[in-house]
Structures are given as C-alpha cells and as structure tokens.
C-alpha cells in the first residue's frame, strides 16, 4: 500500500460519497486506501459502509462508540490502523481538496522529510473557504499565537493549525501523544523536532453539512495550547503581571503627588518597559538569546516596539477615560491586558527570532534543528 488517507468524521454523511469519488479520480494509478474514523451521531457510518461496497478502491470504517481524544484521538487511531506508513490526514467536509494529495505525496518523495504540511499561507495558498472575515482573523491570530509559543520548533511552518498534512508514522512516538483536541498536527510538531516541508493549498468551501467551528472548540484549542506550552508564556505573563502592578502603582503614586494622569501613565510605562525587558531577557527568553540578535539590538527593538505600542495605548486610555468615563486606573488595566498578548507575540517572533545563516551556511541554520524549548511532560 503506497498511501493511507485518514479522514476523521463527525456527522459528515453528505460528504462521504463525493470525497471518495474525488479522491479516486485524483489518485488513479496509486495503491491507496481511505480510512474513515467516525464519531458520528447521524447515519455517516451507514453511508461509509454503502460507499465502500461499490468503491473502486479500499474504503475502511472505524466507528468509535466511545471516542476519546476528540478529532486528534480519531486521527491517531486511524494512523495506527493504516496499511501504509505514509498517511495523509484530511477533513471530511471537502474543504481540503483531495486533488492536492498528489502534491503532498510528491513533496514527500522528493524531500527527505517526516511531515508535509498543506499550508493556506504559502504563496499560491488561500484561506478563502473560511466563512467570513472574522474567522479569517481568528485563524491568523491563532496561528501567530501558536508560532509565538513555539518560536523555534514552528519557525519553518507557516500553517501549524492546518488539519491537512502527510506524515510518515515511523517518525513519531505515538505512545507519547495525548491527543485532546482538534489540532493534532500542532501536538505532533510541538512534542518532537521533525523535518517538515510545505505545499500551498486553497481552503475550499464546505461541500455539505454544517461547520463544527464553535466557541467550545476555541476553548479546547486554548486548553490544548496551554497544555503543550505552559512555560515560556507563563513566565512572560508573570513578569508582565508584575510590571502591570508596578505600572499601576507608579501611576497611582504620581497621581497622588499631583501629576496629571497622562503624564503619570507615560512615566510608569517607560519604567516598566525597561524593567520588563531586562527580566524577560534574563529569565524568559534566555534559551533563545544565543540564536537571536545581540543584546543591544534586542533591547532597541523591544524598546522601540513597546514605546510605539504605548503611543497607541495612551490615546486609547485617554479615550476610555474621557469618552467612556472609565476610571483611569481601571482603563489602564484593560489596555495593559490587551498589550500583554501583543507584546508576547512580537517578542517571540521578532525580538528573539533566530538569526539568518551566515554566507557560508554555518551555525545558526544548523542550530534551528536543535530544539531547546521546554515542553511540559504529560503525567
């Protein structure tokens, strides 16, 4: 068997026949099987069985009566049951076009890699199938946050949130995975340094049925992300929280001494900007310093960005106080909370970005292959 296609499904009865038809057309000439791993509450299992009876390629069904691990658990179960070591994982709603499977397989054959990611964010790719602009923004923001939390392991991956990818199952220690959400690729890449290549793809509109995206899924994603990376961001948050308290304390003291609240806010911001950088550089990003720009460049970039952020934040603070009549300390606390996320993403992806390799191709690029980010071990 050259390839196993793993399709986790939940109430996708209307998509099964079309997915099999398009996959067979796209993969003609290849020895391939399709495995549906189904957690449905509708008639999807019966539809899969019916389609399998007449399909011109092997179609298998794993129906999980008591599913565990959500979509990620379904993917792992399908991969472990596959006849081929080379597996393509894709959604069952046809937003991942079966016609792109050949491109994934070709990239795997021509490159010495463990994973080939189908990316919406490479040149030639598109996220146009997302329902609206809000979902596009959420997707972009989630991707940026994810890359910020794993800045080195995901440095070469533009779309770690995709559910469309090829993987050689021999490259992963499956017993070490604890799938708990719908972003199984993220968990695979976060737990082990793998060789990764990407190909672009166009995220299409759903063929049939309803989207599974929900607020609950968003909470599951954040929980999964926190479980995978409960180190760097927590340290950044701890220092940021201390800085926020110091900021508010300095501001309150200056106001008590008679200073205008905007002047007090500016002074407090400058003091905490410098202090926070020194602490973060020493304790949070110390494992990334050797691969990043020199200290003076990191400080200059951080200081410039934080002051630019303050130039935006202070007028917003003034607007909240003057127009919305929010008490000044409370308004400052709100703006600082928003600024925390923005600062973390910027520092992870920009301030401590790995340096480009030298002209002879030495050191820095090689060091990217050595991951030192701490990943919390599961019990």
Lowest-pLDDT choice from 40-49, 325-334, 349-358 = 349-358
pLDDT at 374: 36
Looking at the structure, tell me whether residues 164 and 241 fall in a common domain.
no
Shared domain for 252 and 213, answered yes or no, is: no
Q: How buried is residue 214: exposed, middle or buried, by Cβ count under 10 Å (0-12/13-18/19+)? A: exposed
Are residues 189 and 64 both part of a single domain? yes
Same domain, 204 and 60: yes
Q: Which residue has the tokens 């602490």?
A: 279
54-68 pLDDT, tens digit each? 999 999 999 998 777
Residue where a domain terminates, one of 170, 197, 228: 228
Question: What's the pLDDT score for residue 206?
Answer: 64
| Confidence (pLDDT) at 370 | 30
Lowest mean pLDDT among 13-22, 114-123, 182-191: 182-191
C-alpha 145/C-alpha 122 separation (Å) is: 18
**Cα separation of 338 and 146, whole Å?**
17
Q: Which of 136, 9, 143 is nearest to 63 (CA)?
A: 9
376 domain-assigned: no
pLDDT value at 19 more than 90:
yes
378 is a domain residue: no
Confidence of residue 223 (pLDDT cuts 50, 70, 90): low
Among 369, 364, 376, which residue's Cα sits nearest to residue 152?
Answer: 369
Assigned domain for 377 exists:
no
Mean pLDDT score, 29-44? 93
In this structure, the answer to whether residues 214 and 247 fall within a common structural domain is no
The domain boundary residue, chosen from 174, 201, 228: 228
Residue 14 belongs to a domain = yes
User: What radius of gyration do the chain's Cα atoms show?
Assistant: 24
Residue 94 within a domain: yes
Range with the poorest average pLDDT among 150-164, 218-232, 251-265: 218-232
CATH number of the domain within which 32 lies: 3.90.550.10
Domain boundary among 228, 251, 266: 228
Assign residue 59 a region: left if phi > 0, alpha if psi is -120 to 50, beta otherwise? Answer: beta
- If asked whether residues 205 and 260 sit together in one domain, one would say no
Same domain (yes/no): 68, 190: yes
Residue 328 belongs to what domain range? Answer: 232-367
User: What's the average model confidence in pLDDT over 92-96?
Assistant: 89
Q: Quick one: 254 and 203 in the same domain?
A: no
Q: Is residue 252 over pLDDT 50?
A: yes
Number of structural domains the chain divides into: 2
């Amino acid at each position: 068997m050259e390839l196993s296609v793993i399709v986790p499904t939940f109430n996708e009865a209307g998509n099964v026949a079309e997915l099999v038809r398009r996959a067979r057309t796209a993969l003609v000439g290849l020895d391939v099987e399709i495995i549906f791993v189904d957690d449905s509450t509708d008639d999807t299992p019966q539809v899969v069985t019916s389609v399998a009876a007449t399909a011109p390629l092997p179609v298998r069904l794993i129906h999980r009566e008591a599913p565990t691990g959500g979509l990620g658990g379904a993917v792992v179960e399908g991969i472990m049951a596959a006849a081929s070591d080379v597996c393509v994982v894709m959604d069952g709603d046809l937003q991942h076009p079966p016609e792109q499977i050949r491109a994934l397989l070709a990239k795997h054959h021509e490159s010495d890699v463990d994973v080939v990611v189908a990316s919406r964010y490479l040149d030639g790719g598109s996220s146009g199938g997302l329902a609206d602009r809000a979902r596009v923004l959420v997707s972009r923001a989630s991707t940026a946050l994810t890359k910020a939390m794993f800045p080195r392991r995901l440095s070469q991956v533009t779309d770690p949130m995709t559910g469309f990818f090829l993987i050689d199952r021999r490259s992963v220690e499956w017993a070490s995975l604890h799938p708990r959400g719908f972003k199984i690729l993220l968990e695979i890449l976060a737990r082990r340094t793998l060789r990764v290549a990407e190909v672009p793809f166009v995220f299409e509109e759903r063929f049939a049925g309803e989207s599974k995206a929900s607020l609950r899924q968003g909470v599951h994603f954040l929980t999964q992300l926190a479980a995978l990376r409960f180190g760097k961001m927590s340290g950044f948050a701890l220092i940021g929280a201390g800085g926020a308290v110091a900021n508010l304390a300095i501001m309150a003291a200056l106001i008590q001494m008679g200073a205008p609240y905007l002047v007090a806010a500016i002074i407090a911001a400058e003091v905490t900007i410098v202090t926070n950088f020194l602490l973060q550089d020493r304790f949070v990003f110390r494992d990334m310093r050797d691969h990043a720009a020199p200290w003076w460049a990191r400080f200059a970039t951080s200081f410039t960005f934080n002051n630019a952020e303050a130039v935006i934040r202070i007028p917003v603070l003034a607007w909240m106080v003057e127009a919305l009549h929010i008490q000044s300390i409370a308004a400052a606390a709100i703006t600082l909370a928003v600024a925390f996320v923005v600062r973390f993403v910027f520092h992870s992806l920009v301030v401590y970005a790995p340096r480009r390799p030298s002209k002879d191709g030495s050191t820095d690029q090689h060091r990217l292959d050595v991951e030192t980010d701490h990943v919390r071990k599961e019990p």
